[in-house]
Structure 1
């Protein structure tokens, strides 16, 4: 599982910083999370193949989180995309995107599906044989969701010594990995637990931006491998965080500590601050394992 942060600053784009967008690579799939202005430029800069992105998750309809979406959808058309594209986001996102496409006389040439969200409880919105994605309801000035991405490890690990001991043909290995027992030529049944080890723990990544401090999310993100949590302000501007319904670095660290996450990734910094190291210093007074998100940073989870 690898996270590439394309942009992680709040409000307007600058020549040296970009608004929110990131790519999560998990089980050989790529998911785009939020799509602020300049996202497609960042994708090119970091050599991420457009054709591998089939699912886009938008947290909310503030511009610094989705103003790059219609441009990316249009570029997909110019690149003669054929794969279906699925967009998940708040109710209204379909109307906003289709209105822009109609007004500009544009079209996609590929199938574009919108999955509009209105629920206030965590729900599964995407699932295949390898990955499941759930919403994380957040509290912001408008309807907002974070997203929880979780691997599905169905395959068990082969115990090579055991399968060789029983002289089991390699053609049965897949059956064994998926939990099957084996019957030998003398009708002896070898249970799966003798032939395999437990699979690796399923990795989980939680994306939470934008939100006021909200302990309601703790059960959803409990013990995730990595939590990206907005930290727009330092504690000295806690009054602004409350007013704008954002979070301070100290509050993000408190969420990480209470949820017992393995790693906290910070981001969505207000551009009023000249040194983002201050966010890490403040967070580490509460929670030690902190990574400062920054544009272009790649994080192996």
Structure 2
């Protein structure tokens, strides 16, 4: 099974601290890299992971608060200095486009690659990216500005060849790809050997949901039902539930309620308020409702399985 990982570059909230960087992640799937949010310090964190800058093909921005997008223009500038030639696709709320173009005109003269902007409607649940490996769809969220999360769904892989069947029916190597893609085999004597006898089912498809800044949404679980890994912001502990509601954020307990109701595989907490020196309190409040819960932390990666 090919790697499907989430690399945490930053998991703090709006106020920078010495412990946490602003929000940013890289989703790795089938040798492709997708960045999700791009706060200050993202480039430094990206270098620490030793992930290759040039392999980041898309950046998904959840909303236009600085701790989620202030690092984007710097990243684009660095791509230019590194001699990037392939297009960079940016998916973000439409309000970012004129600001991004103005910044590029000011700071990024002579880029040798194209920055392709895709306006995202944060109010709709829809597929905004589609390739041979996966789809990415939006998850409408409830924040002080237009905001959405992103759901990465792996597409089914090809069927697995049963080597003993291939040997038994003396199927030539030239036909193996066709059989992986579902073709039956016609033996020299005219018998048709069904594909189901020659192959095994592909590995189950995996999925990752990133729910950025949001007030608790009781119906959110319907959009992330059954995902393997759910990242849900958990800015506050339950003692600050009223503050969370006021500023359109969530508590760890509320994140766990979404995970429980959606029957997800694992829950990942992040976007921690600067008021917490130790997030164990947040973790324990979530685990009381959803035991398979973990804290995001810079430099860690989590496998989607």
> Shorter-chain TM-score: which interval?
over 0.9
**Pick aligned residue for 1:73 from 50, 54, 76:** 76
What SS does structure 1 have at the residue aligned with 2:223? helix
- Scaled by the length of structure 1, the TM-score of the pair is 0.97
- Secondary structure at the counterpart of residue 219 of structure 2: helix
Superposition pairs of residues 205-216 of structure 1, within 5 angstroms: 205-216=208-219
Match of 2:129 in 1: 126
**Paired residue for 2:290?**
287
Listed as ranges, the gaps of 5+ residues in structure 2 are none
SS of the residue 2:196 aligns to? helix
Stretch deviating more after TM superposition (245-254 or 114-123): 114-123
Match of 1:189 among 176, 192, 195: 192
CA drift at 1:159: 1.5
**How far 1:169 sits from its partner (Å)?**
1.3
CA distance, structure 2, for counterparts of residue 7 and residue 87 of structure 1: 19
Shift of 1:294: 1.0
Structure 1 stretches of 4+ moved >2 Å: 12-16, 103-108
Query: C-alpha displacement at 1:215, in angstroms?
Result: 2.7
CA RMSD of aligned residues (A): 1.1
| 2:155 counterpart residue number | 152
Partner of 2:61: 58
Whether the 8 Å CA contact 1:146–1:209 is kept in 2: the answer is yes
Q: 1:7 maps to what in 2?
A: 10
Give the structure 2 partner of residue 269 of structure 1: 272
Alignment partner of 1:101 is 2:104? yes
Q: Which residue of 2 aligns with 1:28?
A: 31
**Contact 2:17–2:274 at 8 Å: present in 1 too?**
no
Structure 1 residue 295: Cα displacement: 1.2
Aligned residues of 2:7 and 2:25 also touching (Cα < 8 A) = yes
Question: 5+ unaligned residues in a row in structure 1: which ranges?
Answer: none
Cα distance, 1:54 vs structure 2: 0.8
What is the deviation of 1:300?
Answer: 1.9
What is the deviation of 1:119?
4.9
Structure 2 length-normalised TM: 0.96
Cα displacement (A) at 1:17: 1.5
Are 1:172 and 2:169 an aligned pair? Answer: no
